[in-house]
């Protein structure tokens, strides 16, 4: 195979030498000048003696004959094991990403060694094949040209070997007092390798400490609640599919909390058919989960506990034993709701679920645990599990203690692997002010940020797709994280860094992880190579013969599957102690008066770590459809009372701290409450995140991390334009995204028949029934949660450019599939319907006959194809598209791509030029790939063999694609469903994408 000049793992390429690392460097400014020698080679490491120099000199001579490269570590592809890389054929590798420390199993497609597209691993319990938008967008972070590269200490660039030396010297210093002045600030992780390293670090430095900080909370509140109720900090996993009645107490379990991908899949599986589940949600802001609720009770965050107690009281009333001391009857508007919910729950004992949200205090989690147990849900639906996180505590308390120590000058070395704590730390800890007191602040980070700027040691972190590691999911299943590409920039990982403190930095993460698992699996140590002692230093050198290692095969199987088979743990038995729950509930403070300020992790930038990810920035928020910034969400009534409108800038203040934030009026938000998304308004940001939103962390204090009373909003008299992709929330009474109550469906046949079937026409429609393939799609609105993973997946698969806030304000966003969100019912308290809408591939396509140059034409299989080369850009097709799903390259949106971003492009999809129209192709490149495979195999393409990116990403399997001429295909069955209808059927466009009516299952008692 000729060299394609593309990076292959373990090889340096011409590309890398051409790369520049920053604008400064390109312009030859600052200290970024690479100089004559490789980075770090020209500087003497601190604490470097003459003796050490001679050692290195000798070693250099000895190693000169060996390849100066990292070991060629063997990666194992997911399904197929090709003998060599075939150009243009992607290979999938199983790996995982960390979601608040837990594994989300992934299969990443790589073209010629370039990871291009992230998919979920169907075998992995936390993914089941689905992904979320953040996961889809992670590959953009990998290729971000603005990533941090290399290592510096006090402004001096260091090579990795020098870093290791200096860390070794530092570690020797700390040995003197057992690490009493050594602290680590880390992010939550479940990695067994990191756990081992941490254990060994604490053995070497018994007085050192690891503090974990998760700004978005993770499920720390759940574990604290379990500690109250069960006496142990246990994790909870849910079998959502087995629950008939679900009560969410401010939990966004379908989109962000817990195993949300799995929950969404299981929840959606019960949104059709006879045995539909029923979801009640009590929450302050409109969340994705709230959008799926059959009954949504909007209330301030601090009132959720009272509502939960009211439900408990009503449950006790309904005869559920053990809840009487925990309940408290409610007065007012939600009393009736609590009664109905309790009755419904009591009728579904052992088949119901109460899930408390990450933003609720532990006492509410404890109460939820008590109610689940009382209802007999523990076992069939709820399972307690031993925590897999290395450090179950991740709240502000540890951070507060650390800040106090730093303030007192008790910390000499602070190793920070948590993301940007200076930005995320509660404002009252004043971490920014005290951080400078640490002599050696060592920060490992993917990108330049505030903490990196303040640190004395700046270490570039490898992207997860460049790193070896391991992670576990909540049930204990282990996934070995394998890289897909050698680090694009000089960088390192947390594993390597911790090993460096143990003097094992040279071993490399691969060997640390692999050897750890070798010993855990009980396999014997690796046999030594057969010849020559020199080879021992490089056991991975494939040129030397080695005796067969029985562990190789196991390891390969693990890597190929993306998980360690049967590594899941067993559920734990635990009993609720009602007295302790009652005690905790009693200690809950009464809801504060005034306006309640609620904080929430953002659906896109999460706690802020994805602020620099342009795909996520431009992804419309699932509920508000806001892009490129955050806003202060208010209910219409509260906004009216305060005389505010969307886009007005207000001074949002609480407890002497204030920020200026734009108001966004969101229907369905709780009254007298304001919700702000975390993560925006970072002080140090790159080209993407600069000026995006306001810093909500500035208002957040450690005593009230999620809900705080006494907020004030003061008009500033200024306004701003919010880049919202969907200006109209109402369907204007048109039949667009149809939603029906479960009970109404049988009676709605006649009404639905108006939106499906043959439309009267004087034209003879083309008959596609004789063709081998008639591609079609079905989108089940009942299952769509609106998470927008499809939009992100499409962006990654189809090389869709990001256009920026200005262009979004001009309605020029390029997403091929958008998720429309409509509100129904009263503006104060509406229900929502989400509707993914891409090109529906009309058989009688209005776009086709108006194109003057035949640039959009029909294939014989009925695809509405877009021929970019023919397009001259009249835009007539878009004008005539009733669905308005066509996207036009008004400007040269791709521009001159950085070399790394060029590597991101999917080689199967044209990168469109300026002045060209584009739109959803049903992932025609995937159809073609399947066609090639089928032809090679001498067979037809299977009924469900082709999966477009949107359908593949969808966590709830709302999108189904396949061959409509094959009755066995899932899409054929969906098209024949009683709920099927065609969007804008009356126009006679004969769309190939059919929609299935959203069903709701309201409680008749609350009607």
Contact residues: other proteins, CB under 8 A: 726-728, 730-734, 736, 807, 810-812, 818, 820-822, 835, 837, 846, 849-854, 870-876, 878-880, 882-884, 886-892, 913-917, 983-984, 987
908 and 927 Cβ atoms separated by less than 8 Å = no
Q: Rank residues 410 and 812 by Cβ distance to other proteins and give the closer one.
A: 812
Q: Nearest approach, Cβ of 803 to other proteins (angstroms)?
A: 9
Strands 632-634 and 469-472: unpaired
Q: Residue length, the chain?
A: 1007
435 and 461 Cβ atoms separated by less than 8 Å = no
Q: Rank residues 48 and 876 by Cβ distance to other proteins and give the closer one.
A: 876
Question: What is the spatial distance between Cα 207 and Cα 894, in angstroms, rounded to a whole number?
Answer: 52
Sheet holding 102-111, edge to edge: 91-99, 102-111, 114-120
Question: What is the spatial distance between Cα 775 and Cα 761, in angstroms, rounded to a whole number?
Answer: 22
Q: Nearest approach, Cβ of 726 to other proteins (angstroms)?
A: 5
Q: Nearest approach, Cβ of 649 to other proteins (angstroms)?
A: 21
Q: Nearest approach, Cβ of 732 to other proteins (angstroms)?
A: 5
Backbone phi and psi for residue 21, each to the nearest 5 degrees, phi listed first: -105, -20
494 and 444 Cβ atoms separated by less than 8 Å = yes
Q: Rank residues 810 and 939 by Cβ distance to other proteins and give the closer one.
A: 810
Q: Nearest approach, Cβ of 813 to other proteins (angstroms)?
A: 8
Q: Nearest approach, Cβ of 964 to other proteins (angstroms)?
A: 24
Q: Nearest approach, Cβ of 805 to other proteins (angstroms)?
A: 14
Q: Is 582 helix (H, G, I), strand (E, B) or coil?
A: helix
Q: Nearest approach, Cβ of 737 to other proteins (angstroms)?
A: 9
Q: Rank residues 788 and 807 by Cβ distance to other proteins and give the closer one.
A: 807
Q: Nearest approach, Cβ of 741 to other proteins (angstroms)?
A: 23
Question: What is the spatial distance between Cα 402 and Cα 405, in angstroms, rounded to a whole number?
Answer: 5
Q: Nearest approach, Cβ of 953 to other proteins (angstroms)?
A: 21
Judge residue 1007's burial from the number of C-beta atoms within 10 Å of its C-beta, 0-12 exposed, 13-18 middle, 19 or more buried.
Answer: exposed
Q: Nearest approach, Cβ of 890 to other proteins (angstroms)?
A: 3
Question: What is the spatial distance between Cα 283 and Cα 706, in angstroms, rounded to a whole number?
Answer: 13
Backbone phi and psi for residue 779, each to the nearest 5 degrees, phi listed first: -120, 120
Nearest CA among 448, 426, 298, 249 for reference residue 831 = 298
Question: What is the spatial distance between Cα 262 and Cα 269, in angstroms, rounded to a whole number?
Answer: 11
Q: Nearest approach, Cβ of 818 to other proteins (angstroms)?
A: 7
Judge residue 647's burial from the number of C-beta atoms within 10 Å of its C-beta, 0-12 exposed, 13-18 middle, 19 or more buried.
Answer: middle
Q: Rank residues 682 and 832 by Cβ distance to other proteins and give the closer one.
A: 832
Q: Nearest approach, Cβ of 986 to other proteins (angstroms)?
A: 8
Question: What is the spatial distance between Cα 191 and Cα 494, in angstroms, rounded to a whole number?
Answer: 11
Q: Rank residues 452 and 871 by Cβ distance to other proteins and give the closer one.
A: 871
Q: Nearest approach, Cβ of 446 to other proteins (angstroms)?
A: 32
B/e letters for 489-504, b = 16+ CB within 10 Å, e = fewer, are bbbbbbbbbbbbbbeb
Q: Rank residues 175 and 645 by Cβ distance to other proteins and give the closer one.
A: 645
Q: Rank residues 189 and 835 by Cβ distance to other proteins and give the closer one.
A: 835
Q: Rank residues 584 and 665 by Cβ distance to other proteins and give the closer one.
A: 665
Question: What is the spatial distance between Cα 800 and Cα 814, in angstroms, rounded to a whole number?
Answer: 7
Backbone phi and psi for residue 403, each to the nearest 5 degrees, phi listed first: -60, -40
Q: Is 410 helix (H, G, I), strand (E, B) or coil?
A: coil
Q: Rank residues 359 and 887 by Cβ distance to other proteins and give the closer one.
A: 887
Question: What is the spatial distance between Cα 460 and Cα 488, in angstroms, rounded to a whole number?
Answer: 11
Q: How far is CA 497 from CA 192, 486, 491, 582, in A?
A: 15, 17, 10, 45
Contacts of 19 (CB under 8 A, 6+ apart): 488, 489, 899, 900
Nearest CA among 723, 736, 753 for reference residue 626 = 723
Distance of CA 71 to the CA centre of its chain: 31
Q: Rank residues 331 and 732 by Cβ distance to other proteins and give the closer one.
A: 732
Q: Nearest approach, Cβ of 734 to other proteins (angstroms)?
A: 6
Question: What is the spatial distance between Cα 935 and Cα 952, in angstroms, rounded to a whole number?
Answer: 23
Q: Rank residues 63 and 876 by Cβ distance to other proteins and give the closer one.
A: 876
Q: Nearest approach, Cβ of 78 to other proteins (angstroms)?
A: 37
Q: Rank residues 731 and 827 by Cβ distance to other proteins and give the closer one.
A: 731
Q: Rank residues 690 and 730 by Cβ distance to other proteins and give the closer one.
A: 730
Other C-beta atoms closer than 10 Å to the C-beta of 146 total: 18
113 and 138 Cβ atoms separated by less than 8 Å = no
Q: Rank residues 476 and 988 by Cβ distance to other proteins and give the closer one.
A: 988
Alpha helix segments (H runs only) across 538-629: 550-561, 578-587, 614-618
Q: Is 192 helix (H, G, I), strand (E, B) or coil?
A: helix
Q: How far is CA 953 from CA 139, 517, 788, 949, 957, in A?
A: 14, 31, 9, 6, 8
Q: Nearest approach, Cβ of 646 to other proteins (angstroms)?
A: 15
Nearest CA among 223, 216, 187 for reference residue 97 = 187
Q: Rank residues 852 and 938 by Cβ distance to other proteins and give the closer one.
A: 852
């Amino acid at each position: 195979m000729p060299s394609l000049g593309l990076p292959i793992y373990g090889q340096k390429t011409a590309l890398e030498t051409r790369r520049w690392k920053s604008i400064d460097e390109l312009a030859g400014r600052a200290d970024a000048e690479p100089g004559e020698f490789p980075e770090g080679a020209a500087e003497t490491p601190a604490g470097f003696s003459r003796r050490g120099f001679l050692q290195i000199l000798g070693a250099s001579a000895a190693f000169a004959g060996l390849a100066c490269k990292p070991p060629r570590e063997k990666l194992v592809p997911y399904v197929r094991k090709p003998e060599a890389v075939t150009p243009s054929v992607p290979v999938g590798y199983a790996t995982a990403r960390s979601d608040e420390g837990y594994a989300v199993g992934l299969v990443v497609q790589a073209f010629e060694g370039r990871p291009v597209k992230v998919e979920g691993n169907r075998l992995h319990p936390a993914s089941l094949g689905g992904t979320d938008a953040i996961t889809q967008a992670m590959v953009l972070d990998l290729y971000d040209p603005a990533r941090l590269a290399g290592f510096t200490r006090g402004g001096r660039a260091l090579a990795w070997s020098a870093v290791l030396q200096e860390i070794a010297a530092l570690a020797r210093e700390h040995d003197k007092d057992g690490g009493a002045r050594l602290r680590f600030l880390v992010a939550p992780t479940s990695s067994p390798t990191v756990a081992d390293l941490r254990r060994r670090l604490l053995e070497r430095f018994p007085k050192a400490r690891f503090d974990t900080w998760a700004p978005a909370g993770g499920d720390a509140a759940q574990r604290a609640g379990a500690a109250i109720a069960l006496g142990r900090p246990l994790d909870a996993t849910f079998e959502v599919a087995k629950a008939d009645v679900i009560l969410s107490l401010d939990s966004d379990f379908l989109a962000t909390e817990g195993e949300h991908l799995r929950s969404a899949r299981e929840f959606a599986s019960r949104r059709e058919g006879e045995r539909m589940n029923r979801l009640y949600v009590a929450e302050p802001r409109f969340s994705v989960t709230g959008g799926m609720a059959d009954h949504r009770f909007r209330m301030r965050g601090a009132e959720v506990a009272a509502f939960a107690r009211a439900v408990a009281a009503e449950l006790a009333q309904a005869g559920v034993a053990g809840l009487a001391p925990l309940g408290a009857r409610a007065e007012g508007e939600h009393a009736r709701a609590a009664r109905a919910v309790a009755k419904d729950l009591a009728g579904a004992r052992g088949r119901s679920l109460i899930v408390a949200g990450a933003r609720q205090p532990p006492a509410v989690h404890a109460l939820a645990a008590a109610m689940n147990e009382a209802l007999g849900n523990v076992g069939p639906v709820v399972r307690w599990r031993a925590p897999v996180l290395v450090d179950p505590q991740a709240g502000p308390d540890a951070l507060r203690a650390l800040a106090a120590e730093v303030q007192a000058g008790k910390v000499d070395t602070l190793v920070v692997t948590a993301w940007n704590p200076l930005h995320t730390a509660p404002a009252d800890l004043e971490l920014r002010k005290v951080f400078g007191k640490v002599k050696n602040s060592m920060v490992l980070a993917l990108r330049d940020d505030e903490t990196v700027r303040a640190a004395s040691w700046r270490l570039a972190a490898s992207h997860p797709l460049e790193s070896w590691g391991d992670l576990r999911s909540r049930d204990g299943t282990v996934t070995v994280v394998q890289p897909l590409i050698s680090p694009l920039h000089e960088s390192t990982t947390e594993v390597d860094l911790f090993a460096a403190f143990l003097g094992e930095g040279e071993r490399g993460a691969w060997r640390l992880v692999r050897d750890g698992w070798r010993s855990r699996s009980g396999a014997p140590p690796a046999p030594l190579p057969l010849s020559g002692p020199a080879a021992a230093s490089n056991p991975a050198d494939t040129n030397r013969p080695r005796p067969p290692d029985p562990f190789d095969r196991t390891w390969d199987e693990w890597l190929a599957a993306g998980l360690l088979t049967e590594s899941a743990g067993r559920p734990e038995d635990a009993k609720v102690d009602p007295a302790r729950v009652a005690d905790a509930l009693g200690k809950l403070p009464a809801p504060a008066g005034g306006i309640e300020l609620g904080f929430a992790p953002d659906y896109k930038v999460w706690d802020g770590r994805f602020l620099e990810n342009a795909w996520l920035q431009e992804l419309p928020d699932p509920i508000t459809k806001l892009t490129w910034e955050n806003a202060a969400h208010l209910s219409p009534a509260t906004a009216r009372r305060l005389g505010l409108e969307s886009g007005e800038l207000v001074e949002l203040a609480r407890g002497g701290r204030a920020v200026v934030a734009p108001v966004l009026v969101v229907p369905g938000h709780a009254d007298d409450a304001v919700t702000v998304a975390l993560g925006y308004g970072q002080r140090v940001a790159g080209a993407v995140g600069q000026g995006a939103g306001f810093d909500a962390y500035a208002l957040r204090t450690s005593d009230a991390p999620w809900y705080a009373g006494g907020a004030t909003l003061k008009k500033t008299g200024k306004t701003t334009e919010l880049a919202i992709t969907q200006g109209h929330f109402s369907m204007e009474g048109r039949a667009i995204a149809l939603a029906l109550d479960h009970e109404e469906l049988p009676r709605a046949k006649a009404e639905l028949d108006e939106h499906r079937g043959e439309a009267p026409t004087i034209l003879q429609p083309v008959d596609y029934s004789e063709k081998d393939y008639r591609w079609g799609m079905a989108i089940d609105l009942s299952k769509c949660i609106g998470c927008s993973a499809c939009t992100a997946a499409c962006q990654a698969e189809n090389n869709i450019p990001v256009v920026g806030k200005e262009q979004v304000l001009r309605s020029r966003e390029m997403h091929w599939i958008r998720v429309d969100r409509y509100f129904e019912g009263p503006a104060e308290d509406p229900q929502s319907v989400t509707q993914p809408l891409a090109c529906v591939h009309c058989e009688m396509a209005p776009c086709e006959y108006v194109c003057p140059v035949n640039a959009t034409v029909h294939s014989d299989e009925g695809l509405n194809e877009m021929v970019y080369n023919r397009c001259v850009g009249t835009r007539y097709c878009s004008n005539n598209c009733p669905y308005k799903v066509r996207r036009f390259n008004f400007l040269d949106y791709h521009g001159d791509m950085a070399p790394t971003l060029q590597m991101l492009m999917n080689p199967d999809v044209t990168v469109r030029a300026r002045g060209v129209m584009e739109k959803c192709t049903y992932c025609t490149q995937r159809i073609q790939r399947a066609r090639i495979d089928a032809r090679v195999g001498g067979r037809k393409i299977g009924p469900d063999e082709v999966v477009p990116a949107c359908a593949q990403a969808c966590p709830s399997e709302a999108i189904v694609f396949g061959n409509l001429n094959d009755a066995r295909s899932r899409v054929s069955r969906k098209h024949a469903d009683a709920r099927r209808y065609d969007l804008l059927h009356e126009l006679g466009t004969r769309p190939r994408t059919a929609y299935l009516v959203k069903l709701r299952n309201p409680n008749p008692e609350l009607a």
